[in-house]
Each structure stands twice: as C-alpha cells, then as structure tokens.
Amino acid sequence: MAFENSSYQSLGKLQTVCLKQNIPFASYRLPLDNEIITLVQHHSFPEKLSSTQDLDKKIGFVVAPFDETAKHGTYFLKPDCVFFSDQIEAVYIQKLSENNRFLSIEKLKEKDIQTTAPSEYINNVNAAKTAMTEGRFHKVVLSKIRLEKLDDKFIAADFFLKLCDKYPHAFVYMIQLPEVGSWIGATPEPLVVIENDCVKTVSLAGTQMSTDAEIESYGWSNKEKEEQGIVTNFVEQTLKSLDIRNYDKTGPTNYQAANLIHLKTAFEFPTADLKNRLGDFLKALHPTPSVGGLPKAEAREFILANEKHDRSYYTGFLGPINIENKSHVFVNLRCLQLFEKQFVLYSGAGITTSSVAEKEWEETDNKMMTMMNVMKTPNP
C-alpha cells in the first residue's frame, strides 16, 4: 500500500496541530500493516512510571530511555482518543488547535549537542577492545550522533508517511511527549510482541549493506557470527531465568531491514507462560546486548563513561501496550530527534575484540542512511 499524502490529510493535520501545541501523541504503523494508529492524550500529562511492573494492566504507549535517570524517565501515554488511519473528524482537530494546556512546558532544545567526531568514535572502539582483552566485558555497543539542519520545507507528517512507504517491514512511529521530546523512527527490532496468545522476541545482530543479491546469499564474518551468538545466548538465558522453557527458536537467518541486512534469531512461546509479567520481562531484557553489551552492568558503565553525547531515548524502547489486546514494544533504533530547526541522528555498532574501528564507523554511517535517504527524498 502506498501511504500517499493526499490520502492522509486529516492525519497530517492532527499530527501537525499536536506538534505545534505540544500535545502528547503517538502515531505508529506496525510492520507489514496498512493501518496507522494514533493515540492522543490531551486532558492530562503522560505518567512517569516508577516501575515497568504494572504495564500489563495499562492501555496506551510506553517510552523508555536507554538509561533511566532523573533527566530521562520512562513515560506512559494514556490516550483520551484513539484514531485508526485517517478517520479523524475536523471538529476534533479544531479543538486540539485551541488546546493550550501543554504550551507552558518549554520544548526541549538542542543545546550542547555536538556531532561525534570520527576520532572520538574510533578511540572509543579501541578503548573498548582493550577493556575486553582485560576481561571487563565481552561486547559493547558504541553509538554516535549527528546534528543536521532541517530543510525549510520539512513537514514531519509527510516524512512519517514516507517512512511508512519506504520501510514496510519496520515499526514506523512519530511521538511527542513533553518530557521526552519529538521523535520519528523506523526500527527493525522488536523487543517483545504479544498477540494471538503468543509472545515473540528476537536477537538481532550483525550488519552489512544490502545489494540486489538474494537474501539467503549473504555471508557473515566470524566477528558478526560471534556478535549474533552473544545476543542469542543472552535472550535464551533471560527466558530461562524467568522459568520460560517452552519456547521455539528459529535461526539465525538473514533479515533485511531498510538498506541493511542483519542476522536474526526468533523466539516464540505461549502468552500463558509470561503470567502477566510483561514489565519483568522488559526489565530483564533491556538493554539487550544488541544495544548495550554483555555483561549488562559493565557494558553500560563503559558506555556512560566514554560516550560524550546523551543517548536519551535512542536504544531505549517504545510501543503500544494492550491496544486491541496486543502489545508491540520495539527497541528505538533507526531514529531521529526533532527540534525546531534541526534534527539529531543516532546510530551504533556492536564492538567485539574482532572489531575494526574504521569499519564500525562506516557501519554507523550506513545505519544513519535509513533516515537520511528518506529525508533527502523530495515531496511528490
């Protein structure tokens, strides 16, 4: 299905009004789905969660950071209204345009944000390799950021539809929460999916640029196989720690996400085995070795000590909870943060002792192109 701007005029107007009035909302399109769902919370502010443990009983949209701090909390948007695709009445959009409840909250600014220099990233990779040879951890994911100027003609609603069109296999979203800011992304990595009495999760690691070749024909280096194995083993150990043993495991298989090919191993088990422990499951998984490292605590400590930028909600998780009795929580990858006149791109790569720093820099550039390729596409 082509997500043409002319077919989603009401949705675009709704998103634009919410952005302008600083109203909390989340629009999203699930992988291989034609429906865009929009949640709007216009009567009250999203809830800051002290714990993810009560998520099973909530209905709405969760947004969590990479690292929970006083500055970056986990928030839950509880919608006053839910819209499907473009079924939005003009009178409702008009009422939102008159809603000044959230204008007193100053929008986040891009102050102190600086593009990561190649030398900084390469030094971090080499420092990580040294730390691994010393036995401090087995893998760490190092990220970088890039600050770019927004085109004067940029329209967030149009960009969102372009992402839906370009990346049918991704979870495409646009959100705005006062304490989180405005984010748009097309992420390939589900953290937890619950539907049809089945729970699904994946391990996703290893990256190379896609070509015109058949997807089964891509080969992998020992470094990439090692990286995938680390993540897969972590997921299996997490399942067992929660006494979930009746699971099906498939893979690793080649998986295409936008302009990239990854290695993916899929896990499935009955919803009954989760026993209303979605929050515990998320806490146990996040951050997975595909975005943090292993062991989790040591890798996190290295990231926070060496990355000069603030990851904020990049490599956190987000998604709808109990919408139409389904939950789809994704890792926040292939994303950008919107500011008034600029945007910030985020990307990262998994580092092991086999990593070559310059190649990891190139991989992070390739991942940023998921967003940049669409940003450069002219409006029809």
Band of the pLDDT at 230, cuts 50, 70, 90? Answer: confident
Half-sphere exposure in the Cβ direction for 157 (13 Å, CA): 21
Can you give the pLDDT at residue 211? 80
* Among 114-123, 181-190, 203-212, 234-243, the least confident range: 203-212
Angle at the Cα of 247 from the Cα atoms of 194 and 237, rounded to 5 degrees:
100
- Give the type of residue at 1: M
Can you give the pLDDT at residue 333? 95
pLDDT tens digits, residue range 8-41?
899 999 999 999 999 999 999 999 999 999 999 9
Can you give the pLDDT at residue 206? 78
The answer, yes or no, to whether residue 226 has pLDDT greater than 90, is no
Prediction pTM value = 0.94
Band of the pLDDT at 146, cuts 50, 70, 90? Answer: very high
DSSP three-state, residue 229: helix
Can you give the pLDDT at residue 325? 87
Can you give the pLDDT at residue 283? 93
Long-range contacts from 31-36, C-beta under 8 angstroms, 24+ separation: 31/168, 31/169, 31/170, 31/171, 32/168, 32/169, 34/1, 34/85, 35/84, 35/85, 36/3, 36/8, 36/11, 36/84, 36/85, 36/86, 36/164
Distance CA 41, CA 75 (A): 12
Q: What is the mean pLDDT of residues 158-164?
A: 96
The answer, yes or no, to whether residue 240 has pLDDT greater than 70, is yes
Can you give the pLDDT at residue 356? 95
Pairing of strands 335-338, 342-351: antiparallel
Q: DSSP secondary structure string, 321-365?
A: ESBTTBEEEEE--SEEEE-SSEEEEEEEEEE-TT--HHHHHHHHH
The answer, yes or no, to whether residue 311 has pLDDT greater than 90, is yes
Can you give the pLDDT at residue 4? 72
The answer, yes or no, to whether residue 93 has pLDDT greater than 90, is yes
CB count, 10 Å around CB of 229? Answer: 17
DSSP three-state, residue 35: coil
Mean pLDDT rounded to a whole number for the chain: 92
The answer, yes or no, to whether residue 168 has pLDDT greater than 80, is yes
* Among 96-100, 108-112, 134-138, the least confident range: 108-112
Ordered structural domains, the chain, with CATH? 5-375 (3.60.120.10)
Can you give the pLDDT at residue 78? 97
Q: How far is CA 107 from CA 73, 93, 156, 182, in A?
A: 16, 21, 16, 9
DSSP three-state, residue 241: helix
Q: What is the mean pLDDT of residues 362-379?
A: 89
* Phi, psi angles (nearest 5°) of residue 64: -125, 145
Q: Could you tell me which residue, 163 or 86, shows the higher pLDDT?
A: 163
* Nearest one of 81, 63, 8, 116 to 321, comparing CA atoms: 63
The answer, yes or no, to whether residue 88 has pLDDT greater than 60, is yes
Residues 280/242, Cβ–Cβ less than 8 Å: yes
Can you give the pLDDT at residue 276? 86
Half-sphere exposure in the Cβ direction for 261 (13 Å, CA): 17
Band of the pLDDT at 377, cuts 50, 70, 90? Answer: confident
Q: Name the strands in the sheet holding 36-40, side by side, starting at the edge strand that comes first in the sequence.
A: 81-84, 36-40, 25-29, 171-177, 181-187, 335-338, 342-351, 139-149, 293-294
The answer, yes or no, to whether residue 380 has pLDDT greater than 60, is no
Band of the pLDDT at 379, cuts 50, 70, 90? Answer: low
The answer, yes or no, to whether residue 346 has pLDDT greater than 80, is yes
Can you give the pLDDT at residue 1? 55
Distance CA 378, CA 380 (A): 6
Percent with pLDDT over 90 in the chain: 78
Q: What's the burial of 5, exposed, middle or buried (CB within 10 Å: 0-12/13-18/19+)? A: middle
* Phi, psi angles (nearest 5°) of residue 281: -65, -45
- Give the type of residue at 196: N
pLDDT tens digits, residue range 258-304?
778 889 999 999 999 998 899 999 999 999 998 999 999 999 999 99
Can you give the pLDDT at residue 6? 66
Can you give the pLDDT at residue 108? 82
